[in-house]
Amino acid sequence: MKSYKIIFSVENDQLIINQLRDNDFFLSIIPYQVERGKNAITLRFKRFALFSFKDQFIIEGKTETKNLITYTFKSKNGNSLEFYIANRVDKNQLVFDLTIQYSGEKEWIVRKYLRDIAESMERSIKDEIKKIKDRVISTNLSENLGKLSFLAKLLMKSRIVKSEEIDIIRSQAVEVLSQLIQDYLRYRLIYISGTSNNSTFRVLFVDGNVSGVYVNINGNENYGEQSLNELEGHFKVNIYVSLVPEEILKGVLNEGS
């Protein structure tokens, strides 16, 4: 049996624990796979360009407790691949203790890859935490775009740079808005508001990315970039900018922490 252990810390976000409990997500972060099916992956390893090992592993067992998740993979050839993911909280950090064990054919090939597998999974977990945080912040920003108190703060701490009337064809709002902000990309925060006879939209760009969307059509509120596709008609549009978005977003960013 060959094994490798790695310990790393991330921001304390319990949502990543739920992700690691999900079979599909867990399978997706295991590297060196050449094929993936339901609860199964096929891994391939090479050594010295002459020797290789390829096998399909199926989830045979799984255990979950508050601080430990284990996955046991078995192949038809009797090879075993096990993952132990322990977690604990230390000074507002989530500490992971990841151990990978392999036993079976060609251990002399597979053991050289255990460290790479662990380090790749560490990177994937950290990337997923960032995505989770970004989604939470985006949701918070979108919801805040529907609140007068946040809008008042936003308008007070930004300045208007453009006001005009435009026509939007259904499903083309994103393209139109992207063109409108081209001259203002040097600003870290860009806020666009638009109104028509029956619709209102508010879009917030931070560091060039869509960070919040609010759409109200005939009294129906929606959030998220996809809702912009429902807009159509003649709109009065205002564009606001700021070089220091932190002054405006501080409270919302703290909600996402």
Give the CATH number for residue 103: 3.30.530.20
Taking alpha carbons only, the member of 133, 103, 76 closest to residue 252 is 133
pLDDT at 256: 45
Query: Which of 75, 105, 136 is at the close of a domain?
Result: 136
- Is 191 found in the same domain as 129? no
Report the candidate in 168, 175, 157, 174 with the shortest Cα–Cα distance to residue 240.
Answer: 157
What pLDDT does residue 133 have?
Answer: 77
Helix, strand, coil % (nearest 5) of the chain?
A: 35, 45, 20
Together in a domain, 26 and 125: yes
Output the pLDDT for position 218.
94
Instruction: Assess whether 157 and 33 both reside in one domain.
Output: no
Do 243 and 177 lie in one domain? The reply is yes
Q: What is the pTM of this model?
A: 0.66
Longest dimension (CA), the chain: 71
Instruction: Give the pLDDT of residue 101.
Output: 97
Q: Which helix (H) or strand (E) holds 242?
A: strand 233-242
Separation between Cα atoms, residue 176 and residue 201, nearest integer Å: 13
Q: Which domain holds residue 128?
A: 2-136
Per-residue pLDDT of the chain (257 residues; tens, 9 = 90+): 889 999 999 887 778 898 999 999 999 999 999 999 999 999 999 988 788 999 999 999 999 999 999 999 999 999 999 999 999 999 888 999 999 999 999 999 999 999 999 999 999 999 998 888 777 777 788 888 999 988 998 999 999 999 999 999 999 999 999 999 999 999 999 999 999 999 999 999 988 888 899 999 999 999 988 899 999 999 999 999 998 888 777 655 554 44
CA distance 205 to 181: 9
Beta 199-206 vs 51-64: how paired, if at all? unpaired
Structural domain count, the chain: 2
